[in-house]
Amino acid sequence: MASTEQQTERSDERKRVDYEALALPYHEGYPRGKIGTYLKKPLETQEDLATAYSPGVAGPCRLIEGDRELSYRYTARGNLVGVISNGTAVLGLGAIGAYAAKPVMEGKAMLFKKFAGIDSFDLEIDEEDSDAFIRMVAALEPTFGGINLEDIKAPECFYIEEQLRARMNIPVFHDDQHGTAIIASAALLNALELTGKKLESLRVVFSGGGAAAIACAQMFLTLGLQSEQIIMCDSKGVLHHDRIDLNSYKKRFAQHTKLRTLEEALIGADVFVGVSAAGLMSSSMLRSMAKDPIVFALANPDPEITPHIARAVRSDVIIATGRSDYPNQVNNVLGFPFIFRGALDTESRTINEEMKRAAAYAIAALAKEAVPESVQRIYAREGHLAFGRDYLIPKPNDPRALVEVASQVAAAAQSSGVARRILDIPSYREQLARLSLDPSGLLA
């Protein structure tokens, strides 16, 4: 006879919509694909043509030749992000290649436009050699105001981002790392407030030793956690100093410990962060955690443990997943459009730790504000949304996220010295509020 937990899981499965099947006609329908281009300036008359192209276009070309920074003023560069992948680690699909990655990258470009009014080109590069990939992307700097790296496997993704950040004078942001880390950090800050737990006394256990896990752990350190409070596990168990198979990135989180398995590490732990694979957290593991356990089961498409099972095991659990059909979705769309908005509008040279931390705190703070009725209607099936255990972080559709996150990121860019353009933040917030009403528009 099936256990209560198994019955709960099966019932949950039956309720799920087959979005993969729905996606096929959605993507195939005419016109093909999910993004396109449109004209921003008039091109109706002979004069328009002569101004947009030859001979008039020589005017901005000559100015930019003398000062490259003017490309922000006279071209689309200041509102243009490259969404770039080689398809080596796509969603929960793995190394499916550059061609198969394109639907995901087109979707990412849609999100940039929908939520922050940012134009983007998706570029799928069929190249797995890291140095060759780096050369290709670095050569694109004249085209873009920022680079969003996506779905590149670890540990190559760390090296690629490090090299591109060193070579390029525009923001380079690997969203699988930093986007996840920023949203998870916001969720952690609010979960701590709800449980009364203190950052300095936490025991945090990670399941997963890849890009997202390492970035989340690093971000938690910037919030004030100490490295000795973190136990990280990969597919072979706990990262400890006796292991000789760890790359340089995993070594940063290796501990002097006798713990060897995820199950051992979770005994008495306060926080579980799963960025690994479906079903890796058992009921017994959850039972062994401390009071008011905080569980971020972020594996996609299926989490390490589902909210249905987790709540059947422990009524005091706070659980977040990466799925939109469960409460507390830790989804990068709550971060990257708004982070890039603030970075682009200040013409920043990079997205630094100060900007990432500002984004996390802005997202956490917004969750405590009353939720607008427009957002309540969209998520009506979840019941009334209000700050609490089932509402740790705001919803991506909340129009205030653009204003709050982008303005705080812009302010951090300016105060930390990476902004080329200085904005009046109160006026900028007003501009963002107007843009939030029509993200297809552009900032003045």
- The residues that bridge with 85 in the sheet, in sequence order, are 124
The pair phi, psi for residue 317, each rounded to 5°, is -75, 145
What is the DSSP-derived secondary structure letter of residue 32?
P
Tokens of 261: 């398995």
Look-up of token digits 């040279």: 349
CA-to-CA separations, 232 to 37, 103, 140, 222, 262, in angstroms, rounded: 44, 32, 36, 17, 8
Residues whose CB falls within 8 Å of the CB of residue 304, separated by 6 or more in sequence, listed in order = 207, 272, 274, 276, 277, 278, 279, 280, 281, 297, 298
258 carries an active-site annotation: no
Residues whose CB falls within 8 Å of the CB of residue 35, separated by 6 or more in sequence, listed in order = 106, 109, 110, 113, 120, 122
Question: Which candidate in 102, 108, 356, 395 is catalytic?
Answer: 108
Count of helix runs (H) and strand runs (E) in the chain: 19, 10
Whether 410 and 346 have beta carbons less than 8 Å apart is answered as: yes
The pair phi, psi for residue 322, each rounded to 5°, is -95, 5
Whether 81 and 106 have beta carbons less than 8 Å apart is answered as: no
Question: Which candidate in 40, 53, 99, 236 is catalytic?
Answer: 53
Tell me the pairing of strands 230-234 and 146-149: unpaired
Torsion of CA 258, 227, 311, 191, to 10 degrees: 160
First to last CA, the chain: 65
Residues whose CB falls within 8 Å of the CB of residue 377, separated by 6 or more in sequence, listed in order = none
108 carries an active-site annotation: yes
Q: Which of 94, 332, 92 is nearest to 216 (CA)?
A: 332
Q: Which of 140, 144, 115, 145 is nearest to 419 (CA)?
A: 145
Q: Kindly provide the residue ranges of all beta strands, DSSP E only, lying in 208-358, ordered along the sequence.
A: 230-234, 237-238, 271-274, 294-297, 318-321
> Measured between alpha carbons, how far is 400 from 285 in angstroms, rounded to an integer?
38
Q: Kindly provide the residue ranges of all beta strands, DSSP E only, lying in 6-118, ordered along the sequence.
A: 80-85
The residues annotated with a catalytic role in the active site are 53, 108
